[in-house]
Chain A
Amino acid sequence: MKKYIVLKVIKAFIMIIFGAIFSFILFRILPGDPAKALTGDPRLPLETKRVVYKMFGLDRPLHEQLFIFIYNLLTGNLGISFQYKLPVSQILMEKLMNTLIFLIPATILSMLLGIFMGLIAGLFNGKLIDKIITSIATLFWSTPSFWGGMVAILIFAIYMRLFPPGGMLSFYGTSPNLSNIGDLLWHLFLPMLTYGIIYSGQYTLILRNSLVEVLTEDFIKMAKAKGHTDFEVVMKYALRNASLGLVSMIGINVGYILLGSITIESVFNWPGIGRLLYDAVFYNDYPLLQGIFILFIIVMVVSMLVVDILYSYLDPRVRIK
């Protein structure tokens, strides 16, 4: 098991480095003028542009820039954001925290809802409740997140005035802490609900289908024959096997959710990574874009690594192979 994990970690590290190099090349070949983004001046004279390029090392040959980039990356230096004029790593950390504040409960909610509905649908396979849940889950899964967000805002914020239409806290100049946790949760509700509901559809359908399949296996019949109740059979035997697909889907989704939060964070004005990416694209902020790109690569690779390890725990055949 140890060897398996070490090999996986090495592979993950190599993937991150290659991904980072790819992101470096990608942002160099994209159109747009970084000097313009740096100074905020769309019609900067050529002489001033040259000075600015020199100051930020943009006048050096590409391979030199690449070596400097890799060295900086290994020392945790992701450069200075053109737009914010602050270290990229500092901005990323702050925004990542905001995204996690929204993402973790949203993911948990979607999992709970998905497992709950998938379980009911799987247990009542073919019955009316199964059909209702499957239809609802399909509807949720096919709902675009920005549209779902806009509908939620319209109903709960504009018409009912129950929740704020966006933002993270009512008072600007404060950070989330124990004294304003109620306020934070109040702001969190709508984006979390939107995300939770939309992603739950996918989990519901996956779990339901796996469960229906697993419940016909011989070991389930054996468990029933031993005298276990349906509830015990499902919880102790079926769910563990049926959750294999769900675990890998959740792992993959962690990365996608981070990407997908661009729309939801823009709709709800949630100051997280998604909104940061939106702004970085808008303002040609290459160091920041690169930093976000690398963060996404790390999150994706690490989540896949965790999924692989979890998978090998849930299904020992994987690590034996």
Chain B
Amino acid sequence: MKIMVKILLSTSFVLLLMSSNIGLPFTTKAANETILRYGICGMSINFNPLTSYSYTMMRSILYTTLYAFNETWGTEPWGAEYAKQIDPLTVEIKLKDNWYWHDGKPVTSYDYKFTWELLLNYPAAQTRFVQAVESIEVINDKVFRVHLKYPVGGYYPFLTGVCVAVPKHVWEPKGLVDASALTYENIPPIGNGPFKFVEYKPGEYIIFEAFDRFFAGKPKIDKLIVVIFASMDAMVNALKTGQIDVVSDVPMTVAMQLLKDPNLYVSLSEIPCYRSIYVNQYPGKVGHPALDDLTVRKAIAMCINKKDINEAIHPGFTVGYTPIPPYWPLFNPEVKNIWPEYDPNAAGDLLENAGYKDTDGDGIREDPRTGKPLKFRYWVYNAYPEELRAAEFIRDSLRQAGMDVEIRGMEAVLWDYVVSQPYDWDLAQWGWTVHDPISCWFPYTSDAIPAGWSSSGYHNPEFDQLYNSLLNATNYDKFLEIQYKLQKHFVENLVEYVLYHEIFPSVWNVRWTGFSNNPCGVFWYGFNSRTFNDVHLVGVTEEAKGIDWNLLAGVIAGAIIIIAVIAIVLIRRKGKRAQPTAT
């Protein structure tokens, strides 16, 4: 009995302690500090800017870029004072005089030379942005010249790309001058962006504080806490209940639901991310041989109803044709007319006339050269579960035309193992990002195959030649002309089936305002350098109200105690009833 009493007392004490917290708001102000809590999910945290894909951290928190995109997709100096073309193969860049590292040292030309040479000598994630760089010549601490391998039409990915500098004075003494720099954990990182690193708890959070010497002025919030979630549901719940203030990259279906919440603001923006179906054209491949035939590729294209798939699965996404989004100034509008119209019956006729007939009567046509049925292995990346539905839509249309697919969802690990390198598939659906209008074409060149960058093994000398002309374009008009040609080639040859360009939702609590916007929206990790600089609270708002939670907690505790007491009494009574009586 004594044990029971002890348990009850302990339980009551715990409940009492707990009830002292019930009903307290999740505060955004602590010790006179304004704190913004930004939730992220499924994002790998890596503080090494040479290899990191945590672009938000690289571009708008810990580090920053030389140039920034503005609201009309134009670019303007940001960390750089200017960048001017000296000749078609030389660009001079001057860094801002008041740009400092978080340890107080100035950001110099030597930092850029050191970093970009590392990227060129030991290719890593960010090397793509400096691909055109031949060498870097330091003029003085703040001015350097970039000598190019080819002119790239005056479009310089290294200005806006996230090939940010690392502090030479920190990295060099540690011997991080070779491939070891790629695996360097860089904790604590010394950055040059608007926020300084404070603390990182793996799998939990990262704390940053405003850097008071940032060249564009100290951010208005004192601290920025990046809260890491393992599940999207947990993150959205935290946002709804005020545990965090802002999230990004939530699925469209979730964003649509959050639109109904008056406490939340949903920002939808078009981003240059596209999802497409790759067609295996790898030389000496293990893919279906019929896919080499443009007629078959065209018939498949005629079975893809992009408009209906979009409306059913991705409301708001933009129908795509090439990696270049239709809303970019570089987009060639002609490709819209070249893309085959959706008509599965006509696709069947096209195949019939080309000799692809159903010889065994099973409803699937056979390849006249090999006798192989037009049934394709269609792998879909599981990270986008909704794409499986899109694949089912396409399968139904393909069957109408006398073709078929075996759809299989693929986990990230298996995707790399099966799709990326061995090319052991026929069709594969996943997404990619266009960081700039030059490097986005490289994966379709023959050179990309041995380099490990080719997604579908496409190889065509005409395309390779066009790509080289793009690199060597001496002015913007020429650059645009070749861009148009590349897009036309892409659609005419049905290199791959670009389905749609994504919409990127960001959601924040209406207590906050001042998020910097650009065509990619506020948070999208690749393109906004000024996301958090002006963020501030709208005003003091009530964060929790309504029921007297302490009272409710008391009621719950009371209920538990009453149940326990009743149970003990029941046992005791049963015990007494069973006591033997003297006879």
Contacts and interface: CB of A to CB of B under 8 A. Distances in A.
A230 B574 contact: yes
A35 B559 CA distance: 56
B452 A266 contact: no
Contacts of A45: 123, 451-452
A275 interface: yes
B413 interface: yes
A267 B234 contact: yes
A315 interface: no
Contact of A271 (B183, B203, B238, B547): B203
A63 interface: no
Interface string A269-281: 1010001101101
A159 B198 CA distance: 35
A42 B574 contact: no
A31 B124 CA distance: 22
A112 B7 contact: yes
B205 A172 contact: yes
Nearest to B413: A32
Given A48-B123, A283-B44, A284-B413, A166 B243 contact: yes
A84 B45 CA distance: 8
Contact of A86 (B185, B240, B547, B574): B185
Contacts of A1: none
B259 interface: no
Contact of A165 (B44, B237, B577): B237
Contacts of A136: none
B416 interface: yes
B574 A51 contact: no
B284 interface: no
B7 A46 contact: no
B241 A39 contact: no
Given A41-B125, A55-B180, A181 B575 contact: no
B575 A182 contact: no
B240 A158 contact: yes
Interface string B228-243: 0111011101101101
Interface in A70-88: 81, 83-86
A311 interface: no
Nearest to B27: A170
A186 B22 contact: yes
B234 A39 contact: no
Contacts of A123: 571, 574
A85 B207 contact: no
A260 to B, nearest CB: 15
A31 B125 contact: no
Nearest to B552: A162
B12 interface: no
B256 interface: no
A46 B449 CA distance: 12
Contacts of A41: 51, 53, 124-125, 182
Contacts of B180: 55
Given A231-B571, A266-B230, A39 B237 contact: no
Contacts of B46: 40, 83
Contact of A224 (B17, B122, B576, B578): B578
B11 to A, nearest CB: 9
B20 A173 contact: no
A41 B27 CA distance: 37
Residue from the set A48, A91, A123, A153 with the largest chain B CB neighbour count within 10 Å: A48
A32 B180 CA distance: 22
A24 interface: no
Given A39-B183, A84-B202, A166-B243, A275 B230 contact: yes
A266 B207 contact: no
Contacts of A279: 203, 230
Nearest to A119: B571
Contacts of B179: 48, 51-52, 55
Nearest to B443: A43
Given A32-B416, A231-B574, A231-B575, A161 B546 contact: yes
A167 interface: yes
Chain A: interface residue count, which band?
35 or more
B562 to A, nearest CB: 14
A231 B576 CA distance: 8
A282 B124 contact: no
Contact of A116 (B182, B567, B572): B567
B134 interface: no
Contacts of B238: 164-167, 269
B123 A40 contact: no
B53 A40 contact: yes
A85 B187 contact: yes
A133 to B, nearest CB: 11
Interface string A154-190: 0001101111111110111100000001110110010
Nearest to A280: B203
Nearest to B417: A31
Given A40-B52, A158-B241, A165-B238, A31 B416 contact: yes
Given A40-B44, A51-B179, A52-B182, A164 B230 contact: no
B243 A167 contact: yes
B114 interface: no
Interface string B42-62: 101110100111000000000
B583 interface: no
A64 interface: no
Nearest to A278: B230
Contacts of B27: 170
Contacts of A173: 198-199, 205, 207, 225
Interface string B565-581: 00100111011111110
A283 B44 CA distance: 7
B526 to A, nearest CB: 15
Given A33-B416, A229-B579, A120 B237 contact: no
A232 interface: yes
A229 B578 contact: yes
Interface string B194-233: 0000110111110100000000000000000101011101
B544 interface: yes
A44 interface: yes
A112 B563 CA distance: 14
A182 B18 contact: yes
Nearest to A50: B179
Given A166-B234, A266-B231, A44 B14 contact: no
A53 B557 CA distance: 58
Contacts of A56: 183
20 contacts: A31-B417, A45-B451, A47-B123, A48-B122, A48-B123, A51-B122, A55-B183, A86-B185, A91-B202, A116-B567, A123-B574, A150-B233, A165-B237, A166-B237, A166-B238, A172-B225, A189-B18, A225-B580, A232-B575, A269-B238
Pairs A-B, 10 closest by C-beta atoms: A85-B185, A231-B575, A31-B417, A51-B179, A186-B21, A165-B237, A229-B575, A230-B578, A269-B234, A41-B125
Given A48-B122, A85-B187, A123-B571, 14 more contacts: A43-B453, A44-B124, A51-B182, A161-B546, A164-B241, A166-B237, A167-B227, A170-B26, A170-B27, A229-B575, A230-B575, A267-B234, A269-B230, A278-B230
Interface of B: 7, 14, 17-18, 20-24, 26-27, 30, 37, 42, 44-46, 48, 51-53, 122-125, 178-180, 182-185, 187, 198-199, 201-205, 207, 225, 227, 229-231, 233-235, 237-238, 240-241, 243, 412-414, 416-418, 420, 451-453, 544, 546-547, 549, 552-553, 567, 570-572, 574-580
